[in-house]
Amino acid sequence: MQTGDKTMKMTLAAIATALQIPVATPEWEQIIITDVAFDTRQLTAGSLFVPLTGARDGHDFIDAAIENGAQATLWQRGHAGVPTTLPVLEVADPLEAMQTIAKAYLAQVKPQVVAVTGSNGKTTTKDLIAAVLATKFKVTKTPENFNNELGVPLTIFGMDDGTEVLVVEMGMDRFGQLEQLSQLVHPDFAVITMIGEAHIEFFGTRDKIADAKMEIVAGMPATGTLVINGDEPLLTSRAATLSQTVKQFGRQATNDVYATQVTVQPTQLSFTTNTWPELTMTVPLVGEYNVSNALAAVTIGQAFQISGEQIAHGLATSAMTANRSEWLTAPNGTRILSDVYNSNPTAAREVLQTVSQLPTAGNRIAVLGDMLELGTASAALHASLATAIDPIKFHAIYLVGDEMRALQAQLQTNGYPMERVHWYAKDDLASLTQELQSVLQADDMVVLKASHGIHLETVLANLTTPE
C-alpha cells in the first residue's frame, strides 16, 4: 500500500494561486504538473523545474531542463535569461516557492501526517511506521533520507491523490530547522526516537539537542499526538508541558507501550508488549536497540486503531532503507553488516555491542570511520567507543580518518593488541579495501560504520562486487 511513483497532479493555476502570482497566459492555467524537481537529471515529462542557487546556479541548466521534459519552471525574479519556450512563474525565492507549493499540495491531498525525528533511528522508525500503517492505509513515506528543507517537499510531491497517510522523516542540524519543517507539514502525529550526541557540535549539549527536537510540535494542531521515548528524561520533562496528547514507548514499564520479552537473533528481533502479551512481534533487524524503534511503530499503530495482528504483520514484512544495519554477503562468503550511511557515538556503540554478541565461526572485524559534527567533544567521544571493543570478541579493528586517532590511542591504553589495529586516512579507501579483501575469510563477520562523509559505501561496494 505504499506509493513510490511520482504521481502528483496539480494544475499550474493552483500552483500560481498558492504562490499568489498570476499565470501570464490563460491557456497555461490548466497545464497539469505531475512532478517537481530541482535536478535536471530527475525531470520527466510534466515536471516543474525549480532552479536553485548553490555551488552552481540552477538557472544555468534551463536548456537541459527543457530537453528533459520540464513542463514549466519557477524563476527567480530579476534573474537574467528568462526562457520563452515554456511557462514561467517568477518568484522571489525558488526554494521558498517550492516549499509553498508543497504545502498547497499537501492541503489538496489531505493525508494524515506522521513526522519522525530523533538523534538515532529515525529512518528505521519511519520505515517501520510506514509498514505498520500500510496494513490498513495507503501510505507514502520519505524515500531514503529526504529529510531536510529540500527532501520534505520532494516527499510531499511523491504522494498521489489517494494517499491516506504521509510518514515524513525530519532531520536537523540547527535550531529552527524542525520548527520550519513542522510548520510545513502540520503533523497530526510526531515521533521522537531518542536524544543522542548527533550534531552536538552545533548544539553543545544534549539538553539543547532535546530543545531542538521538541520543535517538531511547532506545527502540530491542538488535537495532535506526540509519541516519545519515555526512557529519556530530557523528553518526558519537556513533553509534560504540552497541551497535546503524549504517548510514551520504551523498555521501562512506566511507558504506555513497552517490551515484556525480547529475543535477539543474528538477523531478526522478536518481542512481546504489555498491550498484546501473547502476541510475538518479529522485526527483520539486527540489534536490540531496534526494539525501541519498533515500539514507536507499535504505538503509532495503536493510535491508528490497527490490530495487534496487523501491526505484527507490518513489522515482519517491513522494507528497510538501504545501508542501515543491512546484512550483505561478500563473494567469498564473508557476512557484512552495512551501517555506512551515518554514525554517532550512541549508534556506533550499539552496533559494536550487537556484533560482539552474534555467533560466528570466524573472526569479527570492525571497520570504523570518523563520526562527524561532534565539535570539541569529538576526541573524547571517539575514544569512548573503546569500551565496546573487546579484544576477545573483535579480532581486528580498521579505523578511517583523523578523528579515529583518538580511538586508536584509547585502544592502546586499554591494552588492545595494537598489531590488530589498522589506521587509514579517509582519502586512502582503496588501500583499506585491498587489505580487507586480502584478509577476510568465508566464516568472518565484518561491520562497517561511519558518517556518510567518510564514504565507506565505496569500500562496501568493492567488498560485495565479484572480482
Query: By C-alpha distance, which of 449, 353, 369 is closest to 408?
Result: 369
Q: How far is CA 168 from the centre of its chain?
A: 9
Q: What percent of the chain has pLDDT over 70?
A: 97
Instruction: Tell whether residue 54 is among the known ligand binding residues.
Output: no
Predicted pLDDT at 286: 85
Instruction: Tell whether residue 274 is among the known ligand binding residues.
Output: no
Burial label for 450, CB within 10 Å (0-12, 13-18, 19+), is: buried
Give me the mean pLDDT over the 76-97 stretch: 95
Q: Per-residue confidence at 81, pLDDT binned at 50, 70, 90?
A: very high
Predicted pLDDT at 32: 94
Answer yes or no: CATH 3.40.1390.10 is held by domain 2-95. yes
Dist. CA 55–CA 214, nearest whole Å: 32
Separate counts of helices (H) and strands (E) for the chain: 16, 22
Residues near 323 by beta carbon (within 8 Å), at least 6 away in sequence: 338, 339, 340, 341, 457, 460
Predicted pLDDT at 2: 43
- pLDDT, tens digit, for every residue of 203-259? 778 899 999 999 999 999 999 999 999 999 999 999 999 999 999 999 999 999 999
Q: Per-residue confidence at 266, pLDDT binned at 50, 70, 90?
A: confident
Dist. CA 211–CA 436, nearest whole Å: 42
231-265 core/surface letters (b: 16 or more CB in 10 A; e: else): bbebbbebbeeeeeebbbbbbeeebbbbbeeeebe
Q: Tell me if 110-316 shares its fold with 326-463.
A: no
CATH superfamily of 110-316: Mur-like, catalytic domain (3.40.1190.10)
Instruction: Tell whether residue 118 is among the known ligand binding residues.
Output: yes
Give me the mean pLDDT over the 307-322 stretch: 92
Pairing of strands 269-273, 445-449: unpaired
Burial label for 277, CB within 10 Å (0-12, 13-18, 19+), is: exposed
Predicted pLDDT at 3: 39
Predicted pLDDT at 191: 98
- For the chain, what are the domain ranges? 2-95, 110-316, 326-463
Q: Which three cell numbers stand for residue 140?
A: 507514502
For the chain, how long is the longest CA-to-CA vector? Answer: 77
Predicted pLDDT at 227: 98
- pLDDT, tens digit, for every residue of 337-381? 998 888 889 889 989 999 998 999 999 999 999 999 888 889 999
Give me the mean pLDDT over the 184-194 stretch: 97
Instruction: Tell whether residue 325 is among the known ligand binding residues.
Output: no
Dist. CA 372–CA 223, nearest whole Å: 38
Phi, psi of 196 (to 5 degrees): -125, -150
Instruction: Tell whether residue 393 is among the known ligand binding residues.
Output: no
Q: How far is CA 304 from the centre of its chain?
A: 23
3-state secondary structure of 424: strand
Instruction: Tell whether residue 120 is among the known ligand binding residues.
Output: yes
User: What CATH number does domain 326-463 carry, 3.40.50.12780, 1.10.10.10, 3.40.50.720, 3.90.190.20?
Assistant: 3.90.190.20
- pLDDT, tens digit, for every residue of 1-37? 343 445 799 999 999 999 999 887 888 889 999 999 9
CA distances from 403 to 127, 195, 375 (A): 31, 22, 11
- Report the predicted TM-score, pTM, of the whole model to 2 decimal places: 0.85
Instruction: Say yes or no to pLDDT of 456 above 70.
Output: yes
Predicted pLDDT at 199: 67
Sign (positive or negative) of CA dihedral 42, 88, 74, 107 = negative
| Calculated CA dihedral for residues 376, 382, 386, 391, nearest 10 degrees | -150
Instruction: Tell whether residue 121 is among the known ligand binding residues.
Output: yes
Dist. CA 406–CA 384, nearest whole Å: 9
Q: Which residue has the higher pLDDT, 135 or 201?
A: 135
Contact (CB, 8 A) for 399 and 408 = yes
